[in-house]
Amino acid sequence: MKSKIALLLISFSILSCARQDTGLSQQQVEALMQQWLKLWSSYDTNQLDDIFWNSSDLTYFSSEKKGLIKGFDQLKPHHEGFGFVTDGKTPVKALWLEEMHITLHGTTAVVDAIWFFGDQQTPRDSVQQGPCTFVVIRDEGEQAKIAHVHFGNY
């Protein structure tokens, strides 16, 4: 009987530990960043839900507009201001990231990179560019989502 109780306690302990392991993986964050890049290659506002944290606590600093964009409900109008539409369209310019680094902190990750926006065939110094930082979290549904973005200009 004692061995059955011990086995039961060990099983509960293992299950409890498994449930607590909600850390983000490098692959999850890389996949999310690829989704974000796809958003910028499609200009499709339908993708915002899959990429960004649907919370009033979401924060976003644009490199093009002054002030803080606060909350998921402000994110769509911000993107629409750049020409994003429902079901997307083919953009004239490309957005890409270089020198991307991902630092994992349990259930949070920080992504830093250099963003470029323009024609990829032209010299780098002829396109818009600057530093950017993303904070990635796990949302209530355990999905990796972007909770904060900050773009700067060089």
pLDDT digits (tens, 9 = 90+) for 24-41: 999 999 999 999 999 999
Range of the domain at 27: 23-151
Q: Please give the average per-residue pLDDT across 140-152, as a whole number.
A: 97
Any domain includes 10: no
Any domain includes 141: yes
| Structural domains in the chain (count) | 1
Residue 1 has pLDDT above 90, yes or no: no
DSSP string, the chain: -HHHHHHHHHHHHHHHHHHH-----HHHHHHHHHHHHHHHHHTBGGGHHHHB--STT-EEE-SSS-SEEESHHHHHHHHHTTT-BTT----SSEEEEEEEEEEEETTEEEEEEEEEEE-TTS-GGGSEEEEEEEEEEE-TTS-EEEEEEEE---
Any domain includes 6: no
Any domain includes 9: no
122 Cβ contact partners less than 8 Å away, ≥ 6 residues apart: none
- What the block records as the tokens of 144 is 């990796």
For residue 73, how far is the Cα from the chain centroid?
16
Any domain includes 89: yes
Any domain includes 7: no
Any domain includes 2: no
Scored b (16 or more CB within 10 A) or e, 111-143 reads bebbbbbbeeeeeeeebebeebebbbbbeeeee
- With beta carbons less than 8 A apart as the criterion, state whether 39 and 73 touch: no
Any domain includes 90: yes
The pTM of the full predicted model, rounded to 2 decimals, is 0.85
**Residue 83 belongs to domain with CATH number:** 3.10.450.50
**pLDDT tier, 146 (very low <50, low <70, confident <90, very high otherwise):** very high
- The CA distances from residue 72 to 5, 57, 92, 103, 111, in Å, are 48, 8, 26, 24, 20
Q: pLDDT of 75-122, one tens digit each?
A: 999 999 999 999 999 999 999 999 999 999 999 999 999 999 999 999
